[in-house]
Structure 1
Amino acid sequence: MLGAIFGLLNLALFKDFSGVLEQIPLVPTGDLGYATYQGNQRYPNAVNSGTTVDLGYVTYQGKLDEAYPNTVVYFGIPYAEPPVGDLRFRPTVPLNTTRVTEEANGEVVNATDHPNFCIQGSLPGKEGGAGSEDCLNVNIYTPFGATEGDNLPVMFFIHGGAFVFGNPPTWPFDHWIEQSPNVIIVSVYYRLASFGFLPPPPEFADQFGYNAGLKDQRQALRWVQSYISKFGGNPNEVTIAGHSAGAISSVVRSPLPTPEQQQPLFDFYAREAGCDLPDALMKMSCIRMANVSMLAAAQDAAFQELSLEYRSFGPVVDDVLITGHPTSKFQCGDFAHVPLLVGATSDESLIPEMFPNISVALKVYFPLLTDTDIQQFLWLYPLDDFDSPSQQYQVITGELSARCNPQAMGVPSSRYSDDLTWTYRYNTPKPRIESNIIPVEHADEIWMMFNGTKTGPNGTFTFQPQTLAERAFASEIIAYWLSFVRSSKPNTYKLDKSPVWGAYNESKPVRVVLMQDPQNSTNVTGSYMEEQPVPETVRCAFAISKAEVCQN
């Protein structure tokens, strides 16, 4: 249930997380008898047991919104030490529980306000920099009155944003719980851009390591293992879910460079931050003390620097947390054999049509592709097979960057069970006014499932009003998703109007087409089952065979 850089997997879910994120230990580390939530105010008069949770060391006051009377949200629950000061760029550190216990001072803690979000990178044309380094929290959505012993299944959601931006309230879950008040949903904040994915020089690997943002997610999962039962959740029934970068956080089907390949990015970043010093030690010391604004500007400048082959801060193959390219690992069975739900949108591509031609676009996105590799792809996607050069561009870049992910993961996953793997093609565009031709693009299903959400720069977000038909369709998708969380199958608790979602396997690669009723009915579904077209299967098989050169 984790996705891809800026959307490799549009949305994916892994049932249970034991082994998904490189065998996350189920036993928490460190002294977790802590007591307070950094950044929240104390709330001494909370008495409503339906909106509070006693973790044994402190009681937290959650928020009950009048619009969702069956849902309680606990905002800003820390799961790790703030990565500030000497902890900047370092691997995630479990909470100092003695410190936070003393800060609580025996009082109820208010967890009713959105916490600080993590420092943001830029969006196209809009600079980043807003946010805080002190941001390692989770938001927890629970049914009203849920208590320890209810053993409700848990969904752990990792937001998208290319590992560069994202603020969890952009993707609220109040209405999910209101629709199905028999699950717990945890939404995680993790370090982004250079703050979460700085590639330090190799001589500092032992001290700082790599992939700090992914390590944040792992620490949050450890916290969930220790404490989600207090909220009514079952730590033995955790489903990891994610969108885009959140979906790839455990499978990372996007180009994964090595730390050495990221060193030009580190040097450029240090120079832009005012740390162009004679050796690596001096550069590292300088950026660890640099002003946040300087670092935010430096990471934005790097993304615009076309001379860098790898100019985005994201996961790397560090041979510790990530030991190889996930596509290759899937093909040889080296992955956690757990139920999987994964899909993409009909017209999805992560490579915008802004380059002079397909060859340039592929080379920019996949720097190791040779001219021979590119010519092979062009031969496999001849212009005569498409209505226009634009459609050819969209399909070849879309399949290589996103649409082949269900096959790359689904075929190997299905070999371990006849009823393990579920894939989809999302085929309903979100409302757009800029074109009469409306493609179904990256994250359109996220718009549908999250109240018409739209990400803005620097942690901002808005919600576009939805029609009754759109909300009814959203309920249909949410029912499938939460059925998977509750039973490992999307059909168990689906809506009656929805089609039976057939399992995916190598001999019969079927998928559900998620589609709003064309007549905008609230009582009729437009969704249906289809078999993956043979030409697409053949093309994706070739793309999968290029996993090593594509570094995914």
Structure 2
Amino acid sequence: MHGSIMPSARMGRTIRTQAGQVRGAVRDDNGVLAFRGIPYAAPPVGPLRWRAPQAPTPWSGVRDALDFGAASLSSLEHDARPGPRSEDCLTLNVWTAAKAPDEKRPVMVWIHGGGFQFGSSANLATDGSVLAAKGVVIVSFNYRLGLFGFLAHPDLDTQAPSGNFGLQDQLAALRWVKANIAAFGGDPGNVTLFGESAGAMAVGLLMASPLARGLFHKAIGQSGAFWDGRHGSLQGFDEARARGLAFVRQHGNGSIAALRAMPAEPLNAAAPWSFARDHVTQAFSPSIDRYVVPDVPARRFLRGEQMHIPLLAGWNSAEEFPFMPLSLPAHSAQAFRAAAAELFGEGRMADFQKLYPDDTDAEARASAAALTGDMVVGEQCWQALRLHRSSTRAPVYAYHFSYTSPYTPIASHVTEIPFVFGTLTPQRIIGSTTPPDDADRALAEAMMSYWVNFATRGNPNASGLPPWPPHDERDLVHVLGTTIEARPNPQADRFAFLGSFREDGMLPMRWRA
């Protein structure tokens, strides 16, 4: 067979990519090969800082792919997360149990979260080896964050509109998958993009992007959809440039060239972020650049301009847990009521108080927490499901993660991730170090099966699993709790109230204040 791989060829640790050969770790006990730290683009440093990702420089010989690449520099103040960080961060990882390169296994590409400000593909919770043993090829990658990933500025608009370099990195990683994943036993024609938090927001942004067409074929969004937040929809074209112009005036005497000459660490330190600031509207993060993101993503979904592909998406019961610094004042019922009246208008307060009661200080605190989770995460997930269902014929599946146990005492933001990957790592975000038990392992097995089934054929169902009905006018959600079953959406009325403030997909600009 001239120039092709014999069907019986066995796949070893050394695999040829377009840029050169890589050598992964030996197969683990489940037969999974792991390749870490493969460059998918050239280092975005020096003159390539704030430019579209370029092709990786080819190498000769065999490159070891045994260690994760450095994560992007973090914008999070006092970020104690382990692992190296660098401006040179554009690498990816592959896990595969394929024995031969012609197996065409479904591919699942993971985008990590962190508000587009922090995070890494080296997170132990998202190690791909357990999922890969279920018959899929797993890919994860790092991308530029914060100032390095999302600076918009008129002087950077010469080749293509600036601002979303981090999203352009994600597109470059997907193009790498399309060009190279067959050599790892994956099917480039069956790629599922999945992510959580900012990773799920990226999934929604790319579903709505004309530049992503054909790069993935199914989507899973865990706790995110449109990059909307507590202060409304994502930054507009002029808004993002005003932020960039102000920063460059302040730190580089108005010169992009001067900023490109600065060392990365002090430059990064000049644009810190904390959870007290809205990552959507008060940080260097995705904006409407009229290129990668042509318009408000929810508006693209409303008009049916997003990819018409199968979608599985959902949210957790206590999404508000990390975001409480963004909540309305709730030290007293009176303060909460006044802030809500300012945000939603006196004319809507009767409706609001039925859904978010504030008769006592304790009620107000609980309502403020629920409202925060709804505004930062929940409503947009529901909106994406609803709009996708009404504007496409593609299958749509909704979930509500409410599971709690000694291992996971709160169904907070991010707590579903160790179940999806089957890693069951400590749930440190909620302060829990209790090890998992058999019930936790059983839920992980079910969730991994649902996710892999969906990635394989666009339907999470299979025999032996509780039936998961498609999302339709009944607004049923598949509750992933101590019992797994379909139930009416418990937050439907709250989400409909918040959704009623959208005009042509956009949340009110007055929420910025």
Cα deviation for residue 310 of structure 1 reads 3.9
Tell me what 1:466 maps to: 436
Tell me what 1:342 maps to: 313
| Kept after mapping to 2: 8 A contact 1:446/1:453 | no
Distance in 2 separating the partners of 1:455 and 1:111 = 29
Query: How is 1:506-525 mapped onto 2 (pairs within 5 angstroms)?
Result: 507-516=473-482
Tell me what 2:297 maps to: 326
Tell me what 1:532 maps to: 489
Q: Secondary structure at the match of 1:163?
A: coil
TM-score between the two structures when normalised by the length of structure 2: 0.80
Pair 1:79 & 2:36 matched: no
Pair 1:190 & 2:143 matched: yes
Q: Secondary structure at the match of 1:220?
A: helix
- The 10-residue stretch of structure 1 (189-198 or 465-474) with the greater mean CA deviation from structure 2: 465-474
Q: Quick one: which of 45, 50, 64 aligns to 1:89?
A: 50
Distance in 1 separating the partners of 2:84 and 2:348 = 40
Pair 1:248 & 2:201 matched: yes
Distance in 2 separating the partners of 1:227 and 1:384 = 50
Pair 1:393 & 2:368 matched: yes
| Kept after mapping to 2: 8 A contact 1:73/1:140 | yes
| Kept after mapping to 2: 8 A contact 1:511/1:531 | yes
Distance in 2 separating the partners of 1:82 and 1:456 = 32
| Kept after mapping to 2: 8 A contact 1:60/1:108 | yes
| Kept after mapping to 2: 8 A contact 1:73/1:112 | yes
Cα deviation for residue 81 of structure 1 reads 1.0
Matching residue's letter, 1:204: L
Cα deviation for residue 91 of structure 1 reads 1.3
Q: Quick one: which of 55, 63, 75 aligns to 2:25?
A: 63
Matching residue's letter, 2:288: V
Pair 1:233 & 2:186 matched: yes
Q: Quick one: which of 141, 145, 152 aligns to 1:199?
A: 152
Q: Secondary structure at the match of 1:260?
A: helix
Distance in 1 separating the partners of 2:428 and 2:26 = 26
Residues 125, 77 of structure 1: alpha-carbon distance in 2 compared, 3 angstrom cutoff: closer
Matching residue's letter, 2:396: T
| Kept after mapping to 2: 8 A contact 1:353/1:393 | no
Distance in 1 separating the partners of 2:374 and 2:79 = 26
Cα deviation for residue 397 of structure 1 reads 2.3
Q: Secondary structure at the match of 2:324?
A: coil
Pair 1:149 & 2:102 matched: yes
Distance in 2 separating the partners of 1:378 and 1:440 = 29
Cα deviation for residue 79 of structure 1 reads 1.2
Distance in 1 separating the partners of 2:280 and 2:476 = 37
Q: Quick one: which of 293, 304, 311 aligns to 2:265?
A: 293
Distance in 2 separating the partners of 1:348 and 1:57 = 41
Matching residue's letter, 2:127: P
Distance in 2 separating the partners of 1:297 and 1:345 = 33
Q: Percent identity?
A: 25
Q: Quick one: which of 109, 127, 133 aligns to 1:172?
A: 127
Tell me what 1:444 maps to: 415
In the TM superposition, what whole-angstrom CA distance separates every residue of 1:268-322 from its partner, at most 9, and x where no partner exists? 64467x53x2xx3x2x22211111221121121x658979994311101111111
Tell me what 2:384 maps to: 409
Residues 306, 56 of structure 1: alpha-carbon distance in 2 compared, 3 angstrom cutoff: closer
- The structure with higher relative contact order (CA 8 Å, sep 6+) is 1
Cα deviation for residue 509 of structure 1 reads 1.2
Q: Quick one: which of 494, 500, 506 aligns to 1:542?
A: 500
| Kept after mapping to 2: 8 A contact 1:81/1:136 | yes
Residues 309, 73 of structure 1: alpha-carbon distance in 2 compared, 3 angstrom cutoff: closer
Distance in 2 separating the partners of 1:464 and 1:84 = 42
Matching residue's letter, 2:468: W
Tell me what 1:487 maps to: 457
Q: Secondary structure at the match of 2:38?
A: strand
| Kept after mapping to 2: 8 A contact 1:61/1:110 | yes
Cα deviation for residue 443 of structure 1 reads 1.1
Residues 388, 136 of structure 1: alpha-carbon distance in 2 compared, 3 angstrom cutoff: same
Distance in 2 separating the partners of 1:306 and 1:353 = 8
Distance in 1 separating the partners of 2:168 and 2:278 = 30
In the TM superposition, what whole-angstrom CA distance separates every residue of 1:235-291 from its partner, at most 9, and x where no partner exists? 11111111111111142332311243234543564467x53x2xx3x2x22211111
| Kept after mapping to 2: 8 A contact 1:62/1:75 | yes
Matching residue's letter, 2:493: P
Distance in 1 separating the partners of 2:11 and 2:42 = 28
| Kept after mapping to 2: 8 A contact 1:119/1:129 | no
Cα deviation for residue 417 of structure 1 reads 6.1
Cα deviation for residue 109 of structure 1 reads 2.2
| Kept after mapping to 1: 8 A contact 2:278/2:326 | no
Q: Secondary structure at the match of 2:239?
A: coil
Cα deviation for residue 549 of structure 1 reads 3.2
| Kept after mapping to 1: 8 A contact 2:315/2:401 | yes
Distance in 1 separating the partners of 2:49 and 2:314 = 35
In the TM superposition, what whole-angstrom CA distance separates every residue of 1:8-36 from its partner, at most 9, and x where no partner exists? xxxxxxxxxxxxxxxxxxxxxxxxxxxxx
Cα deviation for residue 478 of structure 1 reads 0.8
Tell me what 2:239 maps to: 261
Distance in 1 separating the partners of 2:451 and 2:279 = 39
Matching residue's letter, 1:501: W
In the TM superposition, what whole-angstrom CA distance separates every residue of 1:492-535 from its partner, at most 9, and x where no partner exists? 3x6x1x31000001x2211100013xxxxxxxxx2111012452
**Aligned residues: CA RMSD:** 3.5
Distance in 2 separating the partners of 1:305 and 1:406 = 23
Pair 1:52 & 2:14 matched: yes
Cα deviation for residue 51 of structure 1 reads 2.5
Pair 1:120 & 2:74 matched: yes
Tell me what 2:219 maps to: none
Cα deviation for residue 120 of structure 1 reads 1.5
Matching residue's letter, 2:450: Y
Distance in 1 separating the partners of 2:78 and 2:381 = 28
Distance in 2 separating the partners of 1:244 and 1:535 = 23
Matching residue's letter, 2:66: T
Matching residue's letter, 1:512: H
TM-score between the two structures when normalised by the length of structure 1: 0.74
